[in-house]
Amino acid sequence: MPRILQKDLQLPALYLISLQNGQITTSQLSEQLRDLLNPRGEDLEILDGRPDDKFSQIVRNLTGTTRTFVQNGFIDREAGTNDPLSIGEKGRELLLENKAVLNYLFANDFNFEDLIKSFQDIQHSNNTEKDIEFFDIENVMINEGQQVTVETKVYKRSKKLRDRAIRHYTVDQRIKCQACCFDFEDFYGDYGKDFIEVHHEKPVFQYVGDDVEKTIEDALDNVKPVCSNCHRMIHRRRNNLLTLDKLKQHINQNLDFCEDDAD
């Protein structure tokens, strides 16, 4: 399991400070980052002779008055331990550049490892000046005749991935929930034909200029069609996210929906 580094926390720290209008202490930021990222493994080990763990220490190091992130103008703060943090000029610029992709990551309840990997991808994008694009098929709600107001390019590429995923998982012109086998057309007739929700198991990114079709093809294993009930169960508890396999373990194995698959 990867360790969290100070640089991995830069963007989520700025994101959380922005939500608090700069009125947040290091201790409060540490707790909110913990709730947001749900760290695991070595980061939760208690420090020798200290009441807190390695994760808390990393947050303190990031926001310390002598640390690079503060000295370079990303965070403003006074020297006092309990003085609130605010976002510096460079921090505002960095946050503005990445706000949309951060909203995408945190709205979709991705797990700890995927979030850390995503922060690293974003940092690489910023360092190389290669813009990064994301596919948000969960929160860009796509229904017949309805489009939620979103950035047009995000909507178009997300719809393209969603449509491709539905074709990929359709068998004999029917599509079922990958967890419980529920078929909307079986239950609702023609009104439910071709309806399904699509769940992001992992973030889907590409750099501007990359082959969209290849990105979509590679992403098909990381997006799954699920019914509305199963989708809500997956996202019910952010600190205990369910994978599709774990969700199946909670489902009654005698469901009529799955009888055809058992033959």
- The one-letter amino acid at 79: A
Q: Write out pLDDT tens, residues 173-214.
A: 999 999 999 999 999 999 998 889 999 999 999 988 889 999
Q: What is the mean pLDDT of residues 9-31?
A: 90
Task: Please identify which residue in the block is written with the tokens 């078929």.
Answer: 183
For 150-188, letters b (16+ CB in 10 Å) and e give beeebbebbebbbebbbeebeeeeebbbbbbbbbbbeee
Task: Please identify which residue in the block is written with the tokens 């947001």.
Answer: 36
Query: Domains of the chain: which residue ranges?
Result: 6-130, 134-262
Distance CA(46)–CA(170), nearest Å, equals 49
Task: Please identify which residue in the block is written with the tokens 């202490």.
Answer: 25
For 202-236, letters b (16+ CB in 10 Å) and e give bbbbbeeeeeeeebbeebeeebbbbbeebbebbee
Q: Across the chain, what does the average pLDDT equal?
A: 86
**Of 99, 86, 111, nearest in space to 242 by CA:** 111
Q: Write out pLDDT tens, residues 206-258.
A: 988 889 999 999 999 999 999 999 999 998 887 777 888 889 888 876 666 66
Domain 6-130 has CATH 1.10.720: no
Q: For the chain, first and last CA: distance in Å?
A: 39
Per-residue pLDDT band for 262 (boundaries 50, 70, 90) equals: very low
**Of 124, 245, 238, nearest in space to 180 by CA:** 245
